[in-house]
Amino acid sequence: MDSEIAIRAMTEEAEGYAMLGMWHDAWEAIQSLPVEQRSSPEALRIRLRCSQGSQAWKMGVSVAEALEKGSERDREAVARFYSARAHSEVAADRMASARKSIKMACEAWPPIHIELARDPWWNTVL
């Protein structure tokens, strides 16, 4: 029971760092978890946010792949990651890659297409 409380505290610490945009600290807090807990959906969602926040897109894709068949919450996190990646790709004038990211976002969590359709910025990509 004490170990469960400690793990929960470490996960909450990582979540707090991520909420503050302290990506490296959040990642390190997840790394401090026992090995078997590092790949829990909650830990992976935090890693995905860290990857997005620090624009570590390649790392984020591998984390997204681990979450894409998970719960609705997991799939929403994946979709939001790919949406953010698309923004970054448009800023770098990589439109084909941005379109691919949007497609991946919609495949991961279809409700995101409603948000994307309402955002006039996406007209430049589509």
Under 8 Å CB-to-CB from 117, ≥6 apart: which residues?
Answer: none
How far is it, in rounded angstroms, from Cα 66 to Cα 101? 16
pLDDT of residue 119: 83
What is the domain count for the chain? 1
List the domain range (segments joined by +) for residue 103.
Answer: 2-124
pLDDT of residue 3: 81
CATH number, residue 22: 1.25.40
Token output for 13: 């610490």
Q: What is the pLDDT of residues 50-84, one digit of tens each?
A: 999 999 999 999 999 999 999 999 999 999 999 99
Q: What is the pLDDT of residues 92-120, one digit of tens each?
A: 999 999 999 999 999 999 999 999 888 88
pLDDT of residue 120: 82
